[in-house]
Amino acid sequence: MKLKKQVTVCGAAIFCVAVFSLYLMLDRVQHDPARLQSGGNFPRSQISVLQNRIEQLEQLLEENHEIISHIKDSVLELTAHAEGPPALPRHAPNGSWVLPPESRPSFLSVSPQDCQFALGGKGQSPDLQMLAVYSLLPFDNQDGGVWKQGFDITYEPSEWDAEPLQVFVVPHSHNDPGWIKTFDKYYYDQTQHILNSMVLKMQEDPRRRFIWSEISFFSKWWDNISAQKRAAVRRLVGNGQLEMVTGGWVMPDEANSHYFAMIDQLIEGHQWLEKNIGVTPRSGWAVDPFGYSSTMPYLLKRSNLTGMLIQRVHYAIKKHFAATQNLEFMWRQTWDLDASTDIFCHMMPFYSYDVPHTCGPDPKICCQFDFKRLPGGRINCPWKVPPRAITDANVAERAQLLLDQYRKKSKLYRSKVLLVPLGDDFRYDKPQEWDAQFLNYQRIFDFLNSQPNLHVQAQFGTLSDYFDALYKKVGIVPGMKPPGFPVLSGDFFSYADREDHYWTGYYTSRPFYKSLDRVLEAHLRGAEILYSLALAHARRAGADGRYPLSDYALLSNARRNLALFQHHDAITGTAKEAVAVDYGVRLLHSLTNLKRVIVNAAHYLVLGDKDAYRHDPAAPFLGTDDTRPSQDSLPERTVVRLDASPRFLVVFNPLEQERLSVVPVLVNSPHVRVLSEEGQPLPTQLSAHWGSATDVVPDVYQVSVLARLPALGLRVLQLHKSFDDHATLKSSVRLYLHGRDLPVRKQEAVPVHVFPGTADDFCLESQLLQACFTGRSGLLQSIRRAGEEQEQRVSSEFLVYGTRTSKDKSGAYLFLPDGEAKPYASKDPPVVRVTEGPLFSEVASYYQHVQTTVRLYNVPGVEGLSLDVSCLVDIRDHINKELALRFSTDIESDDTFFTDLNGFQIQRRRYQRKLPLQANFYPMPTMGYIQDTQSRLTLHTAQALGVSSLGSGQLEVILDRRLMQDDNRGLGQGLKDNKRTCNRFRLLLERRATASTVQDGRPISFPSLLSHITSMHLNAEVLVMPVAQEKLAPPALRSFLPLSTTFPCDFHILNLRMLQAEDDSLPSAEAALILHRKGFDCSLEAKNLGFNCTTSQGKLALGSLFQGLELSSLQPTSLTLMYPLGTASNSTNIRLDPMEIATFRIRLG
């Protein structure tokens, strides 16, 4: 009663405030002094009066919004402390389940200003928009002569008379941290020798230069060298002979990697460099990723780099940019209106980054200047003309030949400064090669520089030497836009290196590991945050002596294993089988360690009496939610054994938003009740645990609990063995065998009705959705949202792509299909199992190679607004086949669809009919969608896969590929090591609240808030940790709620990671807090979100954010913490623009 009174009072207050504000607005408009002054004669003054009034109204709306936000917070606080015993679900007369109304109101309060961003602004449009470039190009692949994919380049010798050509030859060695060999084998066989020779040979001549990018290798070598050698390295870096480029742990793949991991590997490398060498990278170097994402220039720019280089871009785009002198440009983000994201980018013009394709357009000539290929060596020139050592007798002729190539290459760029890389994979591993390259080139340079009539200055340089000379030549400081250079926005997917050989297969190759990557990433983020919070609380209580600080070493190791896997031959699925196993072992090892870190932190944080905390590694207080017996097996969920005394569960929600979730737990008895920490019964659903289509696992049951989980918090639940079954509602199961004679193993406790024949078409219904299925296939046919008459056709089907019969076939990299996909044909009709219950209902269809489950959650809020779709795929008996899942709808999407880049931003795509089928596939790390003026259908994914829309209203995703041959890109193997892989999705259908002109051709698009949060739910699953059984009478446990206020729902805590102390296995007193403010589209309906979502125009008070902890210092820094931004102020209030990622160095305690 008291609660009702309070809510009524607050409701009345809101009403009063709103009415009063409107009165004020009208009052102000009537007594506007500006009207009296203007005299009303001039139309212009009337316009300015109107403008003023509009601004006043906007301001009043904002003030009103803020007042209402405050009232909401008070209502929330009142209702939070006034939750009565939760009511339980009941069966309605129509047979559906009705959940009790939520005892707590939920708000959606988005400030009107925060909706402006997605509408775009008045910024200057870029000179080059990649979607427009694609529409423009013919992609005709004409023979260009010696530069096969280009054209003939001519020049006048007098062109450099006024301004000589400045040439920088940049020696480099591309070291893959795993590809044909494992990381360690490469290190011992090659990399250590390259770096050892480098120290020796660079000191022989101060004119020599070298660049290095992979810190994973460099740090391993550093750990194994003497102090004397380390000092020599610091000297070489200090005097500019050796440059660390990009400085990431690896050179990451940019298609499948998630932005959390991209940033993490960059921080890992930059922190290592700062600590060990005291250097901050200035230029980015990415010669080998198979296509480029626009996320990377954003991250490099925010890390304070001023220039970057890329190489593997579609040959037709290279040719077009070369012909228009647009190979160097300022790369800008699509949403950027003030050029704050611009970074200077250099695109290499030719086929490869090896020596034959870097000195100029003719590989036959350039190969003669790769002095590792001198006669008598292990490698030679395929063009049949070998290099010749440079002597006094031949230097004039050789230098002239090389200069001709330099001049031709220079004609493709706008400035008279030229970059000529000199290197290849694992080059410079022997002293002889250093001598051959450096001595011969120095003779050429000496000759060129001694001939004033040639008007050339040639020398060795680093990448930054080149950029600096270019900036100087055009008269700007690094980071600024050179006059006359174009601005580009968009990305460089998909990549083809020749003919119709599109590198779109690797978007899906080895999906098992792509999925494991994301599981590890979610665990790393969760472990980082919980460890940081537990450590801060322990330090505050003076208990850090008893807390396992050594867990920091496990975190550090996991960061590095996740970082290593972002390498462009790891997450891509393009390494040898044994190397893939090596990566898998590392990932699993770290996953196991992170579960330990989470368990230890959760143990400390939920103890009522912190003094009782004892860390016992031999007998952990909490168990883990699942285990994986080996690196290539799917997780096996932990079964909680019930006995006379209650069992306790600690449930971790890694999201910064509270969530209402159905939490699944496996138990060994059907007689179970689940209570909250306070002893109130919670709504639960009991189901069987199925081992196969028709077999129930004996003595194992799934109990699903509806629980409200605090943001970033830990909730304590109790499991009781109980024969009073009122609170636990059972699922009912219908099993359709489709005429197959199959034995069915059931359990008494959960009723299963077996039908030997085929089901009729049927529908499942929840409070928010109805989903209809074909009885014969068990596959989805349509979705209807609550409150809508019309259902939306969303039919799903499985398809199979074959590969070509010609010599070029699909492999780990390439997708070369033999035409359009054919429908998947199973040997037997599927077994279809329909489960219905109060908290969820689902349809599972078992085919020979894939079992798919579509689940509806009957809960208010985010979980209940989308369909949970999973596909367990096993194509180990397929030969040269790829399995796809296609959704077909009536959405009039025409030829347009949208995919995300790295889970960070959305890129508009267009199906290009002039290109082959395989060219129209794109990476989908977290989501893809199609839309028209009324609807949007989003496929959210928990693992990176390849996606396309090959027809209007379609969206299809490649689930797995099994290919029996190599595709001639150096791997030397097919893809035959397929695993049983579980691909997880969420299918979200949204309606436009405002009839919006969505097809206006702008390249920019954003998910809705609901879509963002759905993606987070899918990617950051709840972790359930049972208290160990031996602890018969566990100490009092209390739920842990770390945040003192609700977080704005367009903000995401990307990470909160402790920084390392001097001893790098221990944490320092400081942590890095990384925040991302998401851009979102307000035009899609946001009803029934089920959580309190407010936005704050990007303002956030960090000082009072963490309950029970003080923020004693806050220093904004560059993304990777290398540079402080501004001075550390006493204010702990921050502001972020939409889409921005910001890093803060903080102290919590």
Catalytic residue of the set 114, 253, 264, 288: 288
The gap between the terminal CA atoms of the chain, to the nearest Å, is 40
Please name the residue that has the structure tokens 């609807």: 935
Read off the DSSP letter of residue 926. Answer: S
Instruction: Give the largest Cα separation in the chain, rounded.
Output: 103
Do 792 and 768 touch, CB atoms closer than 8 A?
no
921 CB-side CA count, 13 A? 28
Q: Which two tokens stand for residue 750?
A: 């959960």
Q: Is 126 helix (H, G, I), strand (E, B) or coil?
A: coil
Please name the residue that has the structure tokens 């901050």: 280
Exposure string over 752-779, b if 16+ CB within 10 A, otherwise e: beeeeebbeebebbbbbbbbbbbbbbbb
Question: What is the 3-class SS of 867-919, one letter each residue?
Answer: EEEEEEECCCCCCCEEEEEEEEECCCCCCEEEEEECCCEEEEEECCCCCCHHH
Q: Which two tokens stand for residue 363?
A: 């590989």
Q: Is 502 exposed, middle or buried (0-12, 13-18, 19+ CB in 10 A)?
A: buried
- By C-alpha distance, which of 977, 1008, 1015, 972 is closest to 993? 1008
d(CA 369, CA 354): 11
Residue 641 burial (CB count, 10 A): 13
Angle at 632 between CA 626 and CA 633, to 5 degrees: 40
For residue 200, what are the contacts with CB-CB under 8 A and spacing of at least 6? Answer: 431
Please name the residue that has the structure tokens 């050339």: 456
Q: Which two tokens stand for residue 223?
A: 């750990």
Do 1055 and 260 touch, CB atoms closer than 8 A?
yes
Q: Is the dihedral of CA 1111, 1113, 1119, 1120 positive or negative?
A: negative
Phi, psi of 632 (to 5 degrees): -115, 20
Please give the C-alpha separations between residue 980 and each of 512, 635, 668, 924, 977, in angstroms, as whole numbers. 8, 11, 26, 21, 10
Do 855 and 865 touch, CB atoms closer than 8 A?
no
For this structure, is 288 an active site residue? yes
**For the sheet containing 487-489, what is the strand order?**
128-129, 487-489, 328-331, 343-347, 307-310, 283-286
Do 731 and 837 touch, CB atoms closer than 8 A?
yes
Residue 134 burial (CB count, 10 A): 19
d(CA 406, CA 400): 10
Total residues found in the chain within this entry: 1149
- By C-alpha distance, which of 1007, 753, 981 is closest to 876? 981
d(CA 1116, CA 1075): 11
d(CA 244, CA 279): 8
For residue 147, what are the contacts with CB-CB under 8 A and spacing of at least 6? Answer: 153, 350, 361, 362
Report the interhelical angle of 259-276 vs 215-222 (nearest 10°): 30
Which residues, in sequence order, are bridge partners of residue 929? 898, 938
Q: Is the dihedral of CA 753, 757, 758, 762 positive or negative?
A: negative
d(CA 1008, CA 973): 42
Q: Is 685 helix (H, G, I), strand (E, B) or coil?
A: strand
Catalytic positions, please?
A: 288
